[in-house]
Amino acid sequence: MGQTMMDQGLAAAVRPACSPPRSLRELFWAFSMLSLQGFGGVMAVTQRELIDRRQWMPREEFLEDWAVAQVLPGPNVANLGVIIGDRYFGTRGALMCLLGLFLFPLFIVGLLAVAFTSFQHLPVVQGALKGMGLVVVALILTTGVKLATALRTHVGGVLFCWLAGIATFVAIAVLRLPLVWVLLVFGSLACGWTYLRIVRAPVPERAGP
């Protein structure tokens, strides 16, 4: 694989245009790195690592992948890895992303399980966990704000995005309804509206073969 000989990472960080992953090795390390940063969940880190830092794809495309990964059954971040890995390197890419996601964290969680049983009652440990938990909240908020900017060009219109977003937030955060039903009802409505907008005003852009 001659491509792996190329200098990875450095060039990608400075170039403003998107630079997709060039090798299975890059896929593996990227997903290992983001997985190891994921305390309390990995999804929010993927945006920072793959889009902000590595710029593999535009935010709009990433947001769509993310939406599909959430709607399909299975761990969301595993689905996202499968989608992204398969796009660039087929089945091998998908497997490489899964391997990267789980390999190192699996060892760490095992070690922690052994150590944690003896330290979990110390106030210092509990305080540190709480502080890290709050940073995780901040990370999720930041990801939400950044991805929301990708909605400005949404085919359904900005007003539609606000309505769908507020309705979903209220249903999940305030009313605590099950996700499955919220996605079924609001998701169908949102997709239906978007479908009508796409059919009535076809976007000139056509994806190539």
Partner 1 sequence: MTTLTASDWLGLWLHFSVLSLLSVGGGISVVPDMHRYLVAEQGWLTHQQFTSSVALAQVAPGPNVLFVALMGWNVGANAGSAYLGALGATLCLLGLVLPSSLLTLLATRWAQRNRTHPGVRAFKAGLTPLVVALLGATAWLLLAPSLASDGALAAGLLVLVATGVLWRTSIHLLWVLAAGAVIGAMGWV
149-168 residues near partner 1, rule: CB under 8 A: 150-151, 154-156, 160-162, 164-168
Q: Which of 42, 5, 54, 55 is nearest to 25 (CA)?
A: 5
Which listed residue (20, 146, 201, 204) binds partner 1 by CB under 8 A? Answer: 146
Residue (9 or 41) nearer to partner 1, CB: 41
Running DSSP on this structure, what letter comes out for residue 23?
S
Q: Which two tokens stand for residue 38?
A: 């994921």
Instruction: Please report, as residue ranges, which positions from 171 to 200 form the binding site for partner 1 (by CB under 8 A).
Output: 172-173, 179-180, 182-183, 186-187, 190-195, 198-199
Among residues 25 and 78, whose Cβ is nearest to partner 1? Answer: 78
- Scanning 1-9, 22-30, 95-103 for contacts with partner 1 by CB under 8 A, the matching segment is 95-103
Q: Is 25 in the site for partner 1 (CB under 8 A)?
A: no
Which window, 4-12, 19-27, 108-116, contacts partner 1 (CB under 8 A)?
108-116
Quote the CA–CA distance of 7 and 30 in Å, as a whole number: 15
124 alpha carbon, distance to own chain's centre: 31
Whole-angstrom Cα distance, residue 29 to residue 4?
A: 13
Q: Are the beta carbons of 18 and 55 closer than 8 angstroms?
A: yes
* Number of other CB atoms surrounding residue 103 within 10 Å: 13
Figure out which of the listed residues 4, 88, 108, 152 binds partner 1, where binding follows CB under 8 A: 108
Q: Is 98 in contact with 109 (CB distance < 8 Å)?
A: no
Decide if residue 137 touches partner 1 (CB under 8 A): yes
Nearer to partner 1, 4 or 192 (CB): 192
Site string for partner 1, 40-79 (x = CB under 8 A): xxx-xx--x---xx---------xx-xxxxxxxxxxxxxx
CB proximity list for 100: less than 8 A, separation 6 or greater: 27, 28, 29, 30, 31, 32, 35, 81
CB of 5 to partner 1, least distance (A): 27
Nearer to partner 1, 26 or 100 (CB): 100
Whose tokens are 């790195």? That residue is 33
